[in-house]
Amino acid sequence: MNLTVAITGASGAVFCREALRALEADDRVAQVSFVPSENSLRVLAEELGVSGRNGLLEKLLGAPAKKTVQLSDSDIGASIASGSYPSAGMIVLPCSMGTLAAIANGLANSLIARAADVTLKERRPLILCVRETPFNRIHLRNMTLSADAGATIFPCIPTLYNKPVNSDEMARQFANRVLAHIGLQQPGAYVWKGEE
């Protein structure tokens, strides 16, 4: 399958890094279209010490990308801006309240907002990993609007019951949950077994 992954300027760049690494290693995935928003670059620098858009993928993946292609958020003529491109779905990870607002209201004024709009109109899975706290009523309304249009609101809330030893492991397990939701159960993902 082909997937689109967008990163926006909300806190939680490490979640996206772990998802991109997992998708690069996943044989079921043919191509990943990766779109960083302009403002995500600021957060990437703050949180991961990764600066600039040049060589961004290699810095995030820790190796040259084999199947992930970086697209510019200002390129509204990119492949994923059209419903004719065979994308299996889109993940926005993390999703800022600004990008949530654009998607919820169908602005389609950037590649991320347009690709999300296309994903919804084509009735494909759209996963919005929102991150903000606390939420105001505008945020809540935009989440409801997006969910009503077919998106899944998948907040960046990692699990603790798997006892992660550091933030990378916590982020990896969260990314595993997101990918499982889109049909890509990951090897090594923690699965709660209960008391058997």
Ligand X SMILES: Cc1cc2nc3c(=O)[nH]c(=O)nc-3n(C[C@H](O)[C@H](O)[C@H](O)COP(=O)(O)O)c2cc1C
Q: What is the number of the residue whose Cβ is closest to ligand X?
A: 9
Residue 51 found at the interface with ligand X (CB under 6 A): no
Residue 11 found at the interface with ligand X (CB under 6 A): yes
Residue whose entry in the numeric block shows the structure tokens 């403002």? 39
Residue 9 found at the interface with ligand X (CB under 6 A): yes
CA 54 distance to own-chain centroid: 20
The smaller minimum CB distance to ligand X, of residues 29 and 97, is found at 97
The smaller minimum CB distance to ligand X, of residues 59 and 67, is found at 59
Among 28, 30, 42, 63, the residue binding ligand X under the rule CB under 6 A is 42
Which residues have C-beta within 8 Å of that of residue 66, sequence separation ≥ 6?
Answer: 24
String marking each residue 97-116 x if it binds ligand X according to CB under 6 A: xxx-----------------
Nearest to 144 by CA among 105, 194, 179: 105
Do 51 and 37 touch, CB atoms closer than 8 A? no
Residue 171 found at the interface with ligand X (CB under 6 A): no
Residues 37, 6: Cα–Cα separation, whole Å: 7
The smaller minimum CB distance to ligand X, of residues 26 and 132, is found at 132
CB of residue 67 vs ligand X: minimum separation in angstroms?
24
SS3 sequence, 51-106?
CCCCCHHHHHHCCCCCCEEECCCCCCCCHHHCCCCCCCEEEEEEECHHHHHHHHCC
Residue 106, φ and ψ in degrees, nearest 5:
65, 35
Residue 146 found at the interface with ligand X (CB under 6 A): no
Residue 87 found at the interface with ligand X (CB under 6 A): no
Residue 127 found at the interface with ligand X (CB under 6 A): no
Binding site for ligand X (CB under 6 A): 8-11, 37, 39-40, 42-43, 46, 96-99, 131-132
